[in-house]
C-alpha cells in the first residue's frame, strides 16, 4: 500500500504542474480531466502526508526514549505519546484503505429516480407519494434541485408512478442504495376495518447519462404524441403535448406528460431514455464482473426487498444490513443520512473483505 501511495503522491505533484501549465489550460478538455484527477487524489495525498508526519513523530519519540536521560514524568509522557501515535497510524491506514478503494464512476452524477406503486393498489400509490416527499425533503436538505419529469397521479393523492431528477454533486453516491422494493406496513386510509396491510413500492435509481455516453440513433426511435391525462389544467389536457418514445432496439418505452410544451416533454423523455439505456449497459458490465458484485451491499435489483416501514411500531428496517431504527417519522421527513451512511460503511467493509 505504501508503494502505491508514494506513486500517487508523485502523480499528484505532476498534476500540480500540469494544471498550471498555460499550454494545458489552453486545451480545456485536457485541463478539466487533469483537474478532476487532481481533485480525486487530493484527499488521499493529504491523508498520506498525515501518515508520514505521524510515523515521523513516532520514530522521534522512540529515539528519544532509547537515548535515555529523561526524568520519570517526561518518560511517561513520551510513552503515552508513542501509544497514541501507534493507534493513530493504524486508524490512518484504515482510512487510506477506504480512500484507495475503486470509486464508482457514476458517484458524482445527477440521478433519475423512478417510483412505482406495486402490490397494494391505492395504498401502494399513496406510499409512492410518501417516498417522493421523503426523497424531495432529503434533496432539499442537501440543497439539490428536484425536477418532476413524469407522473401518473391517482384521484386520492397517490402515484401509480412518478419519475424525477435530482441535480447535485454526489447525488448518485447517496441515492444509489435506494434501488429495490420498499415495503410498508400500516392501516390504509382506504381501509375501514383498521387492519394492518402490507403494500410494496418499487424504486429505481438511474445515474443521469450524458449524450456522449449513450449514442442514440434517431432512426431507432418511434415518437408518438398524445393528449395528456389526469390533473394539469386545460392547456395540458386539450393539446397533444404528451410524448411517448419507444427505443426499438431495446424495447424501452418512456412517456412524459407533465409539461405543457411538447418540446419540454420530449426533452425530459430523452433524458430518462438515455439513463435507462445507460443502466442497461451498466447492468451488462456488472454481470461480467458478477463475483465482485456479490461482495457489495445490494445488487440494485428492483425485485430485491430492501426496506420495511412499519407504522404501528414506528420502525424502519433495512434488510441488507439488518439495521432497525425506531425513527419512522424523522426518516419519512427526509432524515436518511443515518441509513445511507450505514449502507456506505457496510459496502466499504464488504469491498475491503473481498480484496
Residue 30 within a domain = yes
Number of CB atoms found within 10 A of residue 118's CB: 17
Q: Which residue has the cell 447517496?
A: 174
- 275 is in which domain, residue-wise? 218-286
Q: Which residue has the cell 424523522?
A: 330
Helical H segments across the chain, by residue range? 2-18, 22-26, 28-67, 72-99, 122-141, 171-175, 233-238, 262-288, 290-294, 328-332, 337-354
Q: Does residue 130 share a domain with residue 260?
A: no
CATH code at position 226: 3.30.160.20
DSSP state letters, 27-41: SHHHHHHHHHHHHHH
38: exposed, middle or buried (Cβ count in 10 Å: 0-12, 13-18, 19+): middle
User: Can you give the pLDDT at residue 218?
Assistant: 84
Residue 294 within a domain = no
- Which of 166, 163, 171, 115 shows the shortest CA–CA distance to 145? 166
- Which of 171, 116, 122 shows the shortest CA–CA distance to 142? 171
Q: Does residue 308 share a domain with residue 196?
A: yes
Q: Does residue 186 share a domain with residue 330?
A: yes
CATH code at position 347: 3.30.70.1660
Average pLDDT of adjacent 10-residue blocks, the chain of 355 residues = 89 92 90 88 93 94 85 89 94 89 84 88 91 96 92 89 91 92 87 81 86 73 77 52 86 84 84 84 62 43 80 95 95 95 90 74
The widest CA-to-CA distance across the chain, in whole angstroms, is 93
* Residue 319 grid cell: 434488510
Structural domain ending residue among the three candidates 286, 318, 344: 286
User: Can you give the pLDDT at residue 3?
Assistant: 87
Distance between CA 161 and CA 149 in Å, rounded? 11
Q: What is residue 215's DSSP assignment?
A: -
User: Can you give the pLDDT at residue 203?
Assistant: 93
- List pLDDT tens digits, range 131-159: 999 999 999 999 999 999 888 898 888 99
* Residue 48 grid cell: 498520506
Q: Does residue 311 share a domain with residue 184?
A: yes
Q: Does residue 82 share a domain with residue 16?
A: yes
User: Can you give the pLDDT at residue 292?
Assistant: 38
Q: Does residue 95 share a domain with residue 24?
A: yes
For 97, the enclosing helix (H) or strand (E) is helix 72-99
User: Can you give the pLDDT at residue 300?
Assistant: 45
Structural domain ending residue among the three candidates 258, 286, 314: 286
Asked if 203 contacts 336 with a C-beta cutoff of 8 angstroms, the reply is: no
Q: Does residue 93 share a domain with residue 6?
A: yes
Distance between CA 180 and CA 335 in Å, rounded? 19
Distance between CA 68 and CA 77 in Å, rounded? 14
Q: Which residues are registered as beta bridge partners of 114?
A: 163, 204
Secondary structure (3-state) at 154:
coil
Residue 182 within a domain = yes
Structural domain ending residue among the three candidates 286, 311, 329: 286
Residue 161 within a domain = yes
User: Can you give the pLDDT at residue 239?
Assistant: 63
Q: Does residue 258 share a domain with residue 324?
A: no
Q: Does residue 135 share a domain with residue 198?
A: yes
Residue 291 within a domain = no
Q: Does residue 201 share a domain with residue 305?
A: yes
Asked if 306 contacts 182 with a C-beta cutoff of 8 angstroms, the reply is: yes
Span between the terminal Cα atoms of the chain, in Å = 13
Residue 334 within a domain = yes
Number of CB atoms found within 10 A of residue 114's CB: 20
Residue 325 within a domain = yes
pTM listed for this prediction: 0.69
* Residue 239 grid cell: 393539446
Q: Does residue 54 share a domain with residue 181?
A: no
Tally of domains within the chain = 3
Q: Does residue 254 share a domain with residue 233?
A: yes
Residue 44 within a domain = yes
Residues with Cβ < 8 Å from 6, sequence gap 6 or more? Answer: none
CATH code at position 27: 1.20.58
Amino acid at each position: 500500500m505504501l508503494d502505491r501511495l508514494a506513486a500517487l503522491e508523485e502523480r499528484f505533484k505532476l498534476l500540480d504542474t500540469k494544471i498550471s501549465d498555460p499550454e494545458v489550460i489552453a486545451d480545456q478538455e485536457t485541463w478539466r480531466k487533469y483537474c478532476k484527477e487532481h481533485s480525486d487524489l487530493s484527499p488521499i495525498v493529504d491523508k498520506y502526508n498525515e501518515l508520514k508526519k505521524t510515523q515521523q513523530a513516532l520514530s522521534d519519540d522512540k529515539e528519544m526514549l532509547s537515548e535515555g536521560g529523561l526524568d520519570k514524568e517526561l518518560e511517561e509522557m513520551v510513552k503515552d505519546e508513542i501509544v497514541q501515535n501507534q493507534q493513530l497510524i493504524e486508524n490512518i491506514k484504515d482510512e487510506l484503505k477506504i480512500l484507495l478503494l475503486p470509486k464508482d464512476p457514476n458517484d458524482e452524477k445527477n440521478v433519475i429516480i423512478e417510483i412505482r406503486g406495486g402490490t397494494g393498489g391505492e395504498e401502494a400509490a399513496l406510499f409512492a407519494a410518501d417516498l417522493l416527499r421523503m426523497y424531495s425533503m432529503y434533496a432539499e436538505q442537501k440543497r439539490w434541485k428536484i425536477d418532476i419529469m413524469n407522473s401518473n397521479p391517482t384521484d386520492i393523492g397517490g402515484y401509480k408512478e412518478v419519475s424525477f431528477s435530482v441535480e447535485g454533486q454526489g447525488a448518485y453516491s447517496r441515492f444509489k442504495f435506494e434501488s429495490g422494493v420498499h415495503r410498508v406496513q400500516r392501516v390504509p386510509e382506504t381501509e375501514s376495518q383498521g387492519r394492518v396491510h402490507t403494500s410494496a413500492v418499487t424504486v429505481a435509481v438511474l445515474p443521469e447519462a450524458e449524450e456522449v455516453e449513450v449514442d442514440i440513433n434517431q432512426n431507432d426511435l418511434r415518437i408518438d404524441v398524445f393528449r395528456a391525462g389526469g390533473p394539469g389544467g386545460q392547456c395540458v389536457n386539450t393539446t397533444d403535448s404528451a410524448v411517448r418514445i419507444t427505443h426499438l432496439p431495446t424495447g424501452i418505452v418512456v412517456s412524459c406528460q407533465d409539461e405543457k410544451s411538447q418540446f419540454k416533454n420530449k426533452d425530459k423523455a430523452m433524458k430518462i431514455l438515455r439513463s435507462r439505456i445507460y443502466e442497461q449497459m451498466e447492468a451488462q458490465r456488472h454481470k461480467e464482473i458478477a463475483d465482485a458484485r456479490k461482495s457489495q451491499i445490494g445488487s440494485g435489483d428492483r425485485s430485491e426487498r430492501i426496506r420495511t416501514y412499519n407504522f404501528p411500531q414506528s420502525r424502519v428496517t433495512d434488510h441488507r444490513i439488518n439495521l432497525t431504527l425506531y425513527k419512522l417519522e424523522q426518516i419519512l421527513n427526509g432524515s436518511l443520512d443515518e441509513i445511507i451512511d450505514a449502507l456506505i460503511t457496510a459496502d466499504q467493509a464488504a469491498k475491503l473483505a473481498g480484496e
